[in-house]
Structure 1
Amino acid sequence: MLPLVAVNVLVILGPALATVYYSFTDWSGLGAAEWVGFENYRDILSDGDFYGALWHNVLWTVFFLTVPIAMGLLGAFLLSRITRFQMFFRVAYFVPYVVASVVNAALWQNILDPDRGVGSALAGIGIPWLDGVSFFGDQNLALPTVAFVDNWHWWGFVVLLFLTAMQSVDKELYEAAKMDGAGRWQQFLNVTLPGIRPTLVFVVLMTIISSLLVFDYIYIITQGGPAGATEVVATLMYKEAFVRFEAGYAAALGIGMSFMGGLIVLLFLYLRRKGWEI
């Protein structure tokens, strides 16, 4: 185990401790760092850009705690009820998840291009409502559109997680529910959801943490624009470190988000000890 421990120390523990140290310094990313104590953290509390980016993280979290999970539950429930072509649908749902983020982003940038995308194609057949709409360039549409693209790649993975959990639910429970006169919706609420609760809790936890750390699709497609409409803490952190060369301040942002993530994990561990997911 020692080689693996050494790799983890070098790759994870070492940079993590270095980030904690640099969060208390004024450092450009190169050269010597000047110790400034809690100045970076005080600056965060008065930084309007940070609060705006954090609000976008909150909106992103709300979206991914509702739409993908609801779609995943519905897709998994429907798949669990069919016997023909189940493998085909599993593969079809899962393919976007294994395709590289850059490829997915480029695909949707072309599909939603205001000049040569789906809007202009529909206008050519007499449906003009989306013609010229700049989904990624409009401040009101940019964030939900990027979230839609990310959801398109993500929800198939959620489907497979829920489907695996649903297939482990005792079939006799469904038979007993049918004998009591329960319809499909009642079976879903009273048998399926309680049976997959541990998986549902895991997906919720993973979704919240990934929403706090979201970076790739936003940076690839909009770089936080237009005019900060899609800026999240991770993209703000990147700009502070590699554009404005405020690496110490970026480190403080990273530690702050890690602290928030740690609090969420502790909350879930507390709920698990109380038997909430059983």
Structure 2
Amino acid sequence: MSKRVIYLKNAEEANIIKQNGVILGKAQAEVAKLIGVGIKTKDLDKVAEEYILDNGGKPSFKNYNGFPATLCISVNDVVVHGIPSTRELKDGDIVSVDCGVFKNGYHADSAYTYMVGDVNQLTKKLLSDTKKSLFEGIAQVKPGNRIGDISYGVQSFTEGLGYGVVRELVGHGVGKYLHEAPEVPNFGKRGNGPKLQVGMVIAIEPMITLGKRFVVQENDNWTIRTEDRKPAAHFEHTVMVTKGGYEILTTFEFIEEVLVSRNLEII
């Protein structure tokens, strides 16, 4: 297999990815139970890893190109690829948690950005709008459309609200590899890029900034943060192209059930 070729998935393969998406969603829900002031990010990582392993899966990210953890945990101005540590979450923080599950030969990939305590209104709106932009992109998924239609859907919505759209990091195909063709940028032109075909499975993942779009990489060679140190949000679903349009193979349902049970706001 080549990572450069777009592999179309059949119904059986899609079902495996969807089952992995349930494990992933429930692992994220375990994280959602603990998100709060004073929790260490490495403790969030531990509970997610244990849940995935207990359910017969493997963390997609751990040891991927040397990444040391199950979760990418990115706080405030960190966009993606934050490494779990002894850092304790503080009131007003936002925390992007990106997770992948590998089981029965296939990956599922999804991310959700959480609020810790009392988050300011501008940042809260960034989260809400980034999540909306994910679904703006997903709405463009149907046979015959192109990757650029998804990209334009995300970009036009977010830039229209004054946000920055990160360009150095993009969505991607998902399947036997964690990262497959095609790339799915969050910026682009309608009608450009590979044509969407039934059976394509892609991760759509807007990474949106409250300030300018520019990012820098920290010395750990993983952590990507905003150059201007303003907050960034990240939401992601794994999505399949179907005859009728699309099917979302990952889920936020279990996360949001936990947030409701804790009387926490869902953006």
**Same fold flag (TM > 0.5):** no
Higher strand share: 2
Higher relative contact order (CA 8 A, sep 6+): 1
Structure number with bigger Rg: 1
- TM-score scaled to structure 1, two decimals? 0.24
Higher helix share: 1
